[in-house]
Amino acid sequence: MTPRESEIIGLVKREVKPALGCTEPIAVALAAAKAVEILTEQCPDCRTPDWRMTTCFGILVQVSGNMLKNGMGVGIPGTGMVGLQIAAALGVVCGKSSYGLEVLHEVGKDAVNRAKELVNSGKVKVSHTETGHKLYAKVTVAAGQGHSSSAVIEDDHDNIVETSFDGNILQCGATTAGDTSSEHRNTLDYKLTLKEIYYFARTVAYDDIKFILESRDLNLKLSHEGLSGDYGLKVGKTVFSEKYREVFGSDFMSYAMALTAAASDARMAGCTLPAMSNSGSGNQGITVTMPVIAYAIKYGVSDEQLARALILSHLTAIHIKGYLGKLSALCGCVIASTGAACGITYLRGGNYHQVCAAVKNMIGNITGMVCDGAKVGCAMKVASGVASSIQSAVLAMEGICISEHDGIIEKDIEKTIQNLGRIGSVGMQSADSMILDIMVCK
């Protein structure tokens, strides 16, 4: 493996990881878990085996607008409840920061009941704060002994940048939960291009990337759960139903839409199975993988070819997301389904120019889809993104590409991607503020 290949694989492993529950409330739970672990370490009275379950707490959650927007209406695993309050309470009661984005891995009935008690007693407060970071969460936990601790997460969902005990700073500087040696780098620092991504996916040794097949295993299991249960709006289950076969058909597009939306249905409704996330988003991880996995299942693709397609899909989404930031007013399924379009194009034998065409077709199609918070309705947006990704890939394979004279499309693929990033990160800021105002005033 060359040093550059190792660097790119390191980026994939940093941005593609299991996450249990929607990552905004999970980031709050992670900060809460870290804060209460500090209490355990620093306060002798907080070391009894059951003190988390019995001690009276006060929990203050301070989050950025985008975190608030994405945490208000999404299901929290195992609780039947939505919102940041129950997420923070669970983080305090049963969270383990060493699990990272799977911080609630050990959630159980007793922990849920205790967390609900904390919420119902008014001991969990959530407030909106602005720090200049779109992704920001600070959780302060007060123990009954008069001590308090806090943990701050910024920019990445598992990026703990500060901890304190009784007002004294213990840690200042970025560390990834569960990996104190990690170096925090911006995605753009890797200076990727779509061309490099395409050729990397084609030529890197299979043994070096076959770990990415865990994306298939986790997300396909989540998809099957969504198809078998009655989660959320049941978008995937409805598309897959025999009852509506005359509407949706039984072709590859309907199959891919059903598998992908079903995974989103389950996840957004609080399913206790993890998703393989991409760029800090479980829904993005689902959308970037499941259409490609559906193609592999439908047409008997080998594990190696699937792994290469998934690497292309994941890396394309990571690359585009670098220009947007982890949270924005632009729905993440736009970026994720663009990655999926590349993966499908690759599996259909597409070359680099056809992959570029697929990206341009996507950007010329569903750019502008807004994010109005994480919720069960996201599955409908996911389904729309999947349909667009397949349409874009098929057109690209036919040599059809949106012209550089149209809209925000340029001849250069990197400039086109940058245009999308500017629209989502700068151009839609007013829309972002308006969406949040509407949501908090309902």
Low-confidence ranges of the chain (pLDDT < 50): 180-182
| Closest among 278, 320, 316 to 422, alpha carbons compared | 320
**How many angstroms separate the CA atoms of 10 and 208, rounded?**
11
Q: CB count, 10 Å around CB of 232?
A: 26
Identify the three-state secondary structure at position 173: strand
Helix (H) or strand (E) holding 41: helix 23-42
Give the Cα separation of 206 and 305 in Å (integer): 9
Question: What is the DSSP secondary-structure string of 97-132?
Answer: GGGGGGTTTT--HHHHHHHHHHHHTT-EEEEE---S
User: What's the Cα-to-Cα distance from 409 to each of 328, 357, 367, 417, 425, rounded to whole Å?
Assistant: 21, 10, 11, 9, 17
Residue type (1 letter), 397: M
- From 239, 230, 233, 364, select the one nearest 294 (Cα to Cα): 239
H or E segment to which residue 62 belongs: strand 58-63
**Beta carbons of 310 and 362 less than 8 angstroms apart:** no
Query: Tell me, what's the pLDDT at 130?
Result: 87
Measure CA 146 to chain center: 36
d(CA 108, CA 117): 14
* pTM score, whole prediction: 0.90
Q: Two tokens at 22?
A: 């929607």
Count CB neighbours of 240 within 10 A: 23
Which residue has tokens 């076959």? 210
Instruction: Output the pLDDT for position 172.
Output: 77
The CA-based angle 138-144-149, given to 5 degrees, is: 25
Distance CA 137, CA 28 (A): 6
Using CA atoms, how far residue 431 sits from 192, 329, 331, in Å, is 29, 7, 12
Q: Is 138 helix (H, G, I), strand (E, B) or coil?
A: strand
Interatomic CA distance for residues 371 and 187, integer angstroms: 22
pLDDT of 181: 42
296: CB partners within 8 A, 6+ apart:
216, 305, 306, 309, 347
Q: Please tell me the predicted confidence (pLDDT) of residue 180.
A: 42
